[in-house]
């Protein structure tokens, strides 16, 4: 149990008992990619894979952080945390009390031991899981009471986004932290990133004899940060040219007109992805309401083609998962997350999980790619106290 492993690392490092252990899940997004920072819609689920944080308060304003995944203890005064400080994984821990304080909450120092069981670098939001586990701990330990309801959890997610954008300096859009704070077992989370409205959409594949297969391609994603920021900038530029605050304001029925007013083919393609992708989320929610999984699968495929051709964030490994899964009988498949590597998801019949995995492994071996990691997942719960 990772609760125990986080506690054991805590005891070994800090020679004391933690006050508790909290955890938060990674996520996969079913559909709605690169829509969050455009004020759009997305539909993530929480993963069974979680990150655990064993935590104890300190009254001297120091933060001490250690990871079961290795490396030295990182020590920094809360007063010294800021943009780019500390660096590396510790930014995702230290940024959280920093952001909570900036949001007006009274917090002090912490000793933190983390055990991350969300695969790293797989595009499954291990960083948001880390932030949200620490935020859950801080909420309980400093008596903030923010885990009690959706409004409080939304406030914690916002602090985690601030930690990631400002301290870790990754310009991500907020879907991952909302998923880690608000996901419910057996449900997908419809997130409206314009007004922060959320809706729990029942998502139970087992009942329909289906499974969701996640394939971590383990493809290197060099340049990922620069590419992500470039996509975000292009979307903002397109919105400026169209005279709207975000691309969410472009209705799918007005897309052709909007495309005609943009200054370059590149901006036209980026805009077409975002506007059609938001529309696909609306249709995916409808499909789930009617248990229409054939339709959901078809939407996955349209989404993947849009990311590959218009948004240009796929790579060979991701395309290979999608093509191979479909050839093996999947109802649909798509890359998930930021892109340029990471993971793809496939909607498959429950009795085809192993055969599909084998086909994907064989296709990767044929192409000389690194061996992928595939596993079926169910929609799991949000950040919580474990111990």
Smallest distance, ligand GLA to C-beta of residue 86, A: 20
Least Å distance, CB 161 to ligand GLA, is 8
Name the one residue in this structure whose structure tokens are 């292009």. 234
Among 20, 39, 337, 372, which residue sits at the site for ligand GLA (rule: CB under 6 A)?
337
Decide if 60 is catalytic. no
Cβ closest to ligand GLA, residue 206 vs residue 223? 223
Chain centroid to Cα 314, Å, comes to: 17
Asked whether 45 and 188 are in contact (CB, 8 A), the reply is yes
Q: Which of 36, 111, 162, 176 is catalytic?
A: 176
Size of the chain in residues: 387
Stretch 231-250 residues interacting with ligand GLA (CB under 6 A): none
Quick one: 33 or 140, whose CB is closer to ligand GLA? 33
Residues 5-34 binding ligand GLA (CB under 6 A) are 29, 33-34
Q: Which DSSP helix (H) or strand (E) runs through 180? A: helix 175-182
**Per CB under 6 A, 214 contacts ligand GLA:** no
Strand 343-349: give its sheet, edge to edge.
332-336, 343-349, 210-216, 373-377
Between 172 and 306, CB nearer to ligand GLA: 172
Read off the DSSP letter of residue 260: H
Residue pair 256/262 in contact by the 8 Å Cβ criterion: no
Smallest separation (angstroms) from ligand GLA to the CB of 334: 11
In the complex, minimum distance from the CB of residue 168 to ligand GLA, in angstroms, rounded to a whole number = 11
111's CB contacts (< 8 A; 6+ apart) are: 10, 13, 14, 16, 18, 55, 56, 58, 63, 64, 65
Q: How many residues bind ligand GLA (CB under 6 A)?
A: 12
Beta-carbon-side half-sphere exposure of residue 183 (alpha carbons within 13 Å): 36
User: What is the residue-wise DSSP string for 315-335?
Assistant: -HHHHHHHHHHHHTT-SEEEE
C-beta closer to ligand GLA: residue 29 or 139 = 29
Give me the half-sphere count of Cα atoms (radius 13 Å) on the Cβ side of residue 385: 14
- Given the complex with ligand GLA, which of 65 and 175 has the nearer CB atom? 175
Interface with ligand GLA by CB under 6 A: which range of 111-119, 170-178, 267-275, 290-298?
170-178
- Tell me whether residue 119 or residue 337 sits nearer to ligand GLA (CB atom): 337
Residue from the set 126, 172, 303, 343 that interacts with ligand GLA by CB under 6 A: 172
**Footprint of ligand GLA on 28-87 (CB under 6 A):** 29, 33-34, 36-37
List the one residue out of 179, 211, 202, 171 whose CA is nearest residue 50: 179
User: Binding of ligand GLA at residue 338 (CB under 6 A)?
Assistant: yes
Interatomic CA distance for residues 66 and 75, integer angstroms: 9
- Kindly report the number of other CB atoms within 10 A of residue 29's CB atom: 31
DSSP notation for 5-51: HHHHHHHHHHSS--SEEEEEEEEEESS-TT-GGGT-EE-EEEEEEEE
Q: Is 166 in the site for ligand GLA (CB under 6 A)?
A: no
Q: Residue 37 or residue 98: which is nearer to ligand GLA going by CB? A: 37
Beta carbon of residue 131, minimum distance to ligand GLA (angstroms, whole number): 11
Distances (CA, A) of 104 to 99, 133, 144, 159, 178: 9, 20, 11, 11, 20
Under rule CB under 6 A, residue 176 binds ligand GLA:
yes
- Does residue 173 touch ligand GLA according to CB under 6 A? yes
* Residues in contact with ligand GLA by the rule CB under 6 A: 29, 33-34, 36-37, 172-176, 337-338
Q: Which residues are catalytic?
A: 176
């Amino acid at each position: 149990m990772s609760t125990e492993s986080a506690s054991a690392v805590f005891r070994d490092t800090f020679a004391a008992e933690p006050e508790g252990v909290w955890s938060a899940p990674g996520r996969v997004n079913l559909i709605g990619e690169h829509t969050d920072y455009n004020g759009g819609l997305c539909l993530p689920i929480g993963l069974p894979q979680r990150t655990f944080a064993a935590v104890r308060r300190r009254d001297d304003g120091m933060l001490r952080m250690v990871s079961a995944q290795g490396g030295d203890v990182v020590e920094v005064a809360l007063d010294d945390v800021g943009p780019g400080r500390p660096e590396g994984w510790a930014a995702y821990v230290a940024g959280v009390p920093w952001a909570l304080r900036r949001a007006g909450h009274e917090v002090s120092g912490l000793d933190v031991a983390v055990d991350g069981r969300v695969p790293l670098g797989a595009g499954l939001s291990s960083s948001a899981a880390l932030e949200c586990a620490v935020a859950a701990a801080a909420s309980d330990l400093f008596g903030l009471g923010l885990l009690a309801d959706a409004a409080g959890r939304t406030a914690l997610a916002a602090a985690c986004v601030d930690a990631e954008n400002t301290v870790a300096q990754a310009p991500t859009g907020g879907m991952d932290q909302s998923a880690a704070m608000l996901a419910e077992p057996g449900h997908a989370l419809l997130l409206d990133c314009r007004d922060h409205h959320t809706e729990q959409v029942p998502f139970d594949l087992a009942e329909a004899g289906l499974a969701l297969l996640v394939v971590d391609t383990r493809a290197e994603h060099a340049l990922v940060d620069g590419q992500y920021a470039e996509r975000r900038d292009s979307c903002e530029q397109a919105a400026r040219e169209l005279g709207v605050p975000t691309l969410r304001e472009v209705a799918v029925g007005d897309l052709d007109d909007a495309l005609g007013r943009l200054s370059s083919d590149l901006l036209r393609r980026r805009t077409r992805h975002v506007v059609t992708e938001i529309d696909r989320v609306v249709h995916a929610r409808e499909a789930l309401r009617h248990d229409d999984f054939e339709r959901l699968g078809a939407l996955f495929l349209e989404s993947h083609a849009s990311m590959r051709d218009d948004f240009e964030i796929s790579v060979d490994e991701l395309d290979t998962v999608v093509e191979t899964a479909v050839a093996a009988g999947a109802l649909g498949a798509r890359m998930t997350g930021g892109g340029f590597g990471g993971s793809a998801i496939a909607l498959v019949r429950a009795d085809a999980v192993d055969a599909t995995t084998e086909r994907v492994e064989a296709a990767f071996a044929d192409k000389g790619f690194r061996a992928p990691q595939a596993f079926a997942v169910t929609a799991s719960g949000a950040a919580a106290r474990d111990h």
